[in-house]
Amino acid sequence: MLPVVGAGSSLGILNLAAQTPAAPAGGPIKLNYKTLGKTGLKVTTVGMGCMITSDPSVITRAADLGITYFDTARGYQRGNNERMVGAALGNKRKQVILSTKTEAHDKDAMAKELDTSLKELNTDYVDIWYLHGLSRPADVHDDMIEGLQLAKQQGKARFVGISTHSGQQQLLPWMAQKGVFDVVLTSYNFTMDASMEQAIDVAAKAGMGVAALKVMAGGPRNQKLAQPGALLSALKWVIDKPNIATAIPSMTDMSQLDENLKAMAEPISADDHKVLAAHLEIIKPLYCRMCGECDGDCAKGLPVADMLRFLTYADGYGQFALGRERFLELTSEQTSVRCGDCAECTVKCPHGVAVRSRMARAQELFA
């Protein structure tokens, strides 16, 4: 049975302390819910991104505590993440909302990937199936849309959508106009400008559910760069937005889970906004907002935003192997470039990222 709250309500609070011996030490936990657009699914405003989780007990405990949304992908951890997520959820599978993603680009390959996902997740359907990591309407072919619709018709996916890290200002309005997508999973955090909020508003008004990823602007390791509480404040900032149904921060251990649960119990405050303003100044030269302003500016043709995202996997999340794996998926011409060889960098970040030094670090780490 899928999680619901009181009839007619899209927001509820539930005290699970008496039911859950694993509750955090801070006392009763509070779970806030929103409705995921036209899907009608009730989701906790804090969900769980499982991409870098290696301890299945964290996933199990999150489900035990009442988190309802769990996200994985066919390609995570070289195909092993789905298997772990399925095993960790166990008999709670039907009590939660489970999403996965495909990077396949035609309906036959998509169908094969979905069948594999279902087998690994030990389920006969997923609640949401995403086309993974797309940035432009041109990336989405009719054949891919047919693949999504076929999965719904066959009962293998209840709802479908796209996950995206960049290009949302063009992609989200296009998705809204097409009318065939139920959900969008998008990068969204406190560093982004008003154009992102406008794109999200268009999607929400069209009935699409909006879930947010990359909500902490750089990952848990960036906590070391700022005053305590910056990451919790960042999570509060996202779930406070009315058009965001749920956020899916990555969680690797019990302390991160307990900390993120606080976001539902402690509304964002003026102090949180001050923390975020100070944090932004610290990460400004390091963190790429994926705004797309520099697309095509590199004289050597490097995908700057993507490469800086790969660097964030290593520096922000401690996931060197994931960052290098993504880096090595670039063309040989791209991986052979060294930014230090250029007399001058042609990429000027409008937000203050030290592009040349950050790119050089990515090349040093991954090449």
What is the spatial distance between Cα 85 and Cα 123, in angstroms, rounded to a whole number?
11
- Is the same domain home to 20 and 59? no
**Does residue 294 fall inside a structural domain?**
no
- Is the same domain home to 19 and 68? no
Say how many Å lie between the first and final Cα of the chain, rounded: 48
- Is the same domain home to 51 and 192? yes
Question: Of 225, 242, 269, which marks where a domain is finished?
Answer: 269
Closest listed residue to residue 223, CA positions, set 261, 268, 266, 275? 275
- Is the same domain home to 212 and 312? no
Q: What CATH number has the domain bearing residue 123?
A: 3.20.20.100
- Is the same domain home to 87 and 209? yes
- Is the same domain home to 8 and 102? no
pLDDT of residue 319: 86
**Does residue 292 fall inside a structural domain?**
no
Neighbours of 155 (CB within 10 A): 9
What is the spatial distance between Cα 76 and Cα 204, in angstroms, rounded to a whole number?
28
**Does residue 153 fall inside a structural domain?**
yes
Neighbours of 179 (CB within 10 A): 9
Are the C-beta atoms of 217 and 283 separated by less than 8 Å?
yes
The residues near 15 (Cβ < 8 Å, ≥ 6 apart) are: 28, 29, 30
- Is the same domain home to 47 and 185? yes
**Does residue 19 fall inside a structural domain?**
yes
What is the spatial distance between Cα 251 and Cα 71, in angstroms, rounded to a whole number?
11
pLDDT of residue 302: 96
Closest listed residue to residue 263, CA positions, set 302, 290, 299, 236? 236
What is the spatial distance between Cα 258 and Cα 29, in angstroms, rounded to a whole number?
9
State the residue range of the domain holding 161. 31-269
**Does residue 257 fall inside a structural domain?**
yes
What is the spatial distance between Cα 47 and Cα 248, in angstroms, rounded to a whole number?
5
Q: Which two tokens stand for residue 86?
A: 């399925």
Per-residue pLDDT of the chain (367 residues; tens, 9 = 90+): 444 333 333 333 333 333 444 556 555 689 999 999 999 999 999 999 999 999 999 999 999 999 999 999 999 998 899 999 999 999 999 999 999 999 999 999 999 999 999 999 999 999 999 999 999 999 999 999 999 999 999 999 999 999 999 999 999 999 999 999 999 999 999 999 999 999 999 999 999 999 999 999 986 555 556 567 899 999 999 999 999 999 999 999 999 999 999 999 999 999 999 999 999 999 999 999 988 889 899 999 999 999 999 999 898 888 899 899 999 999 999 999 999 999 999 999 999 999 999 999 999 999 9
What is the spatial distance between Cα 48 and Cα 199, in angstroms, rounded to a whole number?
24
- Is the same domain home to 236 and 185? yes
Are the C-beta atoms of 287 and 222 separated by less than 8 Å?
yes
**Does residue 11 fall inside a structural domain?**
yes
Question: Of 269, 292, 320, which marks where a domain is finished?
Answer: 269
Closest listed residue to residue 82, CA positions, set 55, 57, 128, 117? 117
**Does residue 92 fall inside a structural domain?**
yes
The residues near 224 (Cβ < 8 Å, ≥ 6 apart) are: none
- Is the same domain home to 169 and 258? yes
pTM of the model: 0.89
- Is the same domain home to 188 and 332? no
- Is the same domain home to 330 and 355? yes
Are the C-beta atoms of 201 and 195 separated by less than 8 Å?
no
Convert 18-45 into a string of H (helix), E (strand) and C (coil): CCCCCCCCCCCCEEEEEECHHHCCEEEC
**Does residue 56 fall inside a structural domain?**
yes
- Is the same domain home to 221 and 340? no
Neighbours of 366 (CB within 10 A): 20
Q: How far is CA 329 from CA 4, 104, 113, 145, 355, in A?
A: 41, 15, 19, 25, 21
Number of domains in the chain: 3
